[in-house]
Amino acid sequence: MIHNNRKFVIRLTFILIAAIYLIKLFAIQVMNEDYQAKANSNIIDREIRYPFRGLIYDRNGKLVVYNAPVYNLEVIPKDVQLKDTLAFCNVFGITLEEFDEKIAKAKQYSYVKPSIFIKQISNTTFATVQDYLVDFPGFRIQARTNRAYSYRNLANALGYIGEISPYQMERDSANFYRQGDYIGILGVESKYEDQLRGKRGVKYKMVNVRGVEKGSYKDGAYDTLSVAGENLVSTVDITLQEYAETLMTGKRGSIVAIEPKTGEILTFVSAPFYDPNLLTGRDYGKNYSQLAADTTKPLFNRPLMGAFPPGSIFKIVQALIGLEEGIITPQSRFHCDRGIIDCHGPHTYQDLRGAIEVSCNPYFWNVYRRLLNQGASENTFVDTEIGLEKWRKYVMSFGLGHPLGIDLPHERAGYVPGPSLYDKIYGDNRWKFSTIYSNAIGRGELQIVPLQMANLAAIIANRGYYITPHMIKSIGEDGQPLAQYQEKNYTDVSPEHFEVAVEAMSDVIKRGTGMRANLPDIEVCGKTGTVDNEDRGEEDHSVFIAFAPKDDPKIAVAVYVENAGQGARAAAGISGLMIERYLKGCTERAHMEEYILNGDFIY
């Protein structure tokens, strides 16, 4: 009896197991859509929906950067079934050797996962090849967008986008990016990557073995939409930018113009420049190599990364520090003793305003000496060290010797020398004023970045403060100014001391070395600088800073033209034309424009 019961239990167990398998098979083959799709030779394809990258506008609403459609041809090696490889190559314009190389690379990446076979097929080319795709199983199109530019300007400020590198992938702690994604490289594209990139979506669809779409998977229940990146409104006036680049054609240097009250950058020119459209599309690699090999260095961002002696424009800073320290007054006079330091022009005994106007070197030699040797110690070496440290603190309050914090990457700090530098060069207590006096006139070890020069002009225009210079005015739809660019940064010099500098800079334009920037109905204030280059056997650099109008200034500008001679020539002329074009909307001094465009300022 027990034996019969065991046989019954065993039989029942087998019957139950068989029933379970039958029910499971029924569910798999009949009820479940996934297996039903596979049974009908369909597969579920996961297609990434890439977002539109945010657009970039200029300050007046003109579209500067937008998105153009492009297409990547992807391949899944295991699904490739080509009857005629040569026909495929003819359709897509590649050689058999290129085909074999690309297939091998795809297989090395993955035999079953899609990878890019041909990048960035243009919209025009895609229209001619899309009807052939049904004949090439294993290949499919991935729609993308690429950057396009309405203007051939502003390349160094905008930056560009490129395929993410393995190094960048490793640093992507949020795992946002995938191989083949594009990311901002340099400029605004890099600094505002998080805002511009948007958020990808995904679409699940059923396709058969020939790659023909058979419909969405489960009516799109698992699909997600991509979210476009946020649009940016730039501070740049693209029309003024175009004009500025025209003026710098054939020259090497920079122009930076700032709205003093807001710190908004109006123009940002690095010359020689290049068309931003060169670093987009399928020819990106070839064009980049050519630009990188160019000996004039068009990829070098001069307004941010070039550090130069400021020359005589620095005399304004010396004067203001001297006034604040009380070692001079506006009435202070010094003889133009050319035995202690060389000078130029027919002057002999100027007050401060006159010394700025004629750019008297001995005057500011005396100012610097008084700043450094104020009797804090009987030991002249110690006294100079104390004075230099105090002087350095003042100078750095003008935004010099440290990055200003512009919203662009790779900003250099420039350099303001302190005691540690001279201790390293000469030894402790072995240097004094007579060792380092060339700093007095903007030479020596001083190094200023062109952006800082424009900011210095803005500080004087504002009578003692600056807003951190920036390229982006607002982000997204609300259009509100960015909070981080609202704070005023004050110098260590009291506002009342700036008036004599402003009046002197007005004199420079009316009857001094800055007359090429003089406008008949706008009071311009400026200062020339000529940076000596004799030790390198080259022409001097031409430097000029200016702002206008004198009261309620709307624009501050700095021009640095390398190897162009005196600041009174190219730099002053360009500054005047920039101010005229921005404030009047036109150029009334055709003779000056002709002088700048056709003058002998070629580097």
Q: Could you tell me the domains of the chain?
A: 45-234 (3.90.1310.10), 238-287+296-598 (3.40.710.10)
Output the pLDDT for position 39: 46
| For residue 346, cis peptide bond before it (omega within 30 degrees of 0) | no
* Confidence grade of residue 21 (pLDDT, cut at 50, 70, 90): low
Find tokens 């005629």 and name the residue.
Answer: 84
Output the pLDDT for position 490: 98
Output the pLDDT for position 487: 95
Residue 170 DSSP one-character state: H
Average pLDDT, the chain: 90
Mean pLDDT of 315-340: 97
The residue among 397, 398, 446, 442 whose CA lies nearest residue 418 is 446
In angstroms, rounded to a whole number, what is the distance separating the alpha carbons of residues 209 and 63? 43
In angstroms, rounded to a whole number, what is the distance separating the alpha carbons of residues 147 and 387? 53
Mean pLDDT of 67-83: 91
Mean pLDDT of 37-44: 54
Angle between helices 361-372 and 315-325 (to 10 degrees): 40
Q: What percent of the chain has pLDDT over 90?
A: 70
What is the C-alpha R_g of the chain?
Answer: 34
With 60 as the cut, is the pLDDT of residue 90 above it? Answer: yes
Q: Is the four-CA dihedral 281, 286, 289, 294 of positive or negative sign?
A: negative
Mean pLDDT of 22-50: 61
Find tokens 């290049």 and name the residue.
Answer: 274
Output the pLDDT for position 436: 96
Output the pLDDT for position 534: 60
Output the pLDDT for position 40: 45
How many other β-carbons are positioned within 10 Å of the β-carbon of residue 4? Answer: 8
With 90 as the cut, is the pLDDT of residue 207 above it? Answer: no
Mean pLDDT of 481-503: 95
In angstroms, rounded to a whole number, what is the distance separating the alpha carbons of residues 297 and 24? 69
Amino acid at 200: R
With 80 as the cut, is the pLDDT of residue 214 above it? Answer: no
* Confidence grade of residue 8 (pLDDT, cut at 50, 70, 90): low
Mean pLDDT of 12-23: 71
| For residue 520, cis peptide bond before it (omega within 30 degrees of 0) | no
Which residues, in sequence order, are CB contacts of 598 under 8 Å at separation 6+?
A: none
Please, how many CA atoms are within 13 Å of residue 352, restricted to the half-sphere of its CB? 23
Question: Partners of 145 in the beta sheet?
Answer: 69
With 50 as the cut, is the pLDDT of residue 41 above it? Answer: no
With 60 as the cut, is the pLDDT of residue 456 above it? Answer: yes
Output the pLDDT for position 232: 97
| More confident position, 156 or 535 | 156
| More confident position, 567 or 182 | 182
Amino acid at 169: M
- Mark 285-324 as b/e (b = at least 16 C-beta within 10 Å): eebeeebeeeeeebbebbbbbbbbbbbbbbbbbbbbbbbb
The residue among 517, 350, 349, 344 whose CA lies nearest residue 441 is 344
Containing 559, the helix (H) or strand (E) segment is strand 555-561
Please give the model's pTM, rounded to 2 decimal places.
0.87
With 80 as the cut, is the pLDDT of residue 12 above it? Answer: no
Output the pLDDT for position 286: 93
With 80 as the cut, is the pLDDT of residue 220 above it? Answer: no
Left (φ > 0), alpha (ψ -120 to 50) or beta: where does 263 sit? left
Which residues, in sequence order, are CB contacts of 300 under 8 Å at separation 6+?
A: 270, 306
With 70 as the cut, is the pLDDT of residue 37 above it? Answer: no
With 80 as the cut, is the pLDDT of residue 31 above it? Answer: no
Mean pLDDT of 249-278: 97
Which residues, in sequence order, are CB contacts of 400 under 8 Å at separation 6+?
A: 317, 414, 416, 448, 452, 456
Output the pLDDT for position 296: 94
Amino acid at 2: I
Instruction: Quick: pLDDT tens for 390-407.
Output: 999 999 999 999 999 999
Q: Residue 147 in contact with residue 159, Cβ under 8 Å? A: no
Amino acid at 413: A
Give whole-number Cα distances, 110 to 41, 223, 299, in Å: 22, 25, 36
Mean pLDDT of 451-475: 98
With 70 as the cut, is the pLDDT of residue 566 above it? Answer: yes
Output the pLDDT for position 324: 98
With 80 as the cut, is the pLDDT of residue 145 above it? Answer: yes
Output the pLDDT for position 6: 65
Which residues, in sequence order, are CB contacts of 295 under 8 Å at separation 6+?
A: none
In angstroms, rounded to a whole number, what is the distance separating the alpha carbons of residues 536 and 525? 32
Instruction: Quick: pLDDT tens for 512-527.
Output: 999 999 999 999 999 9
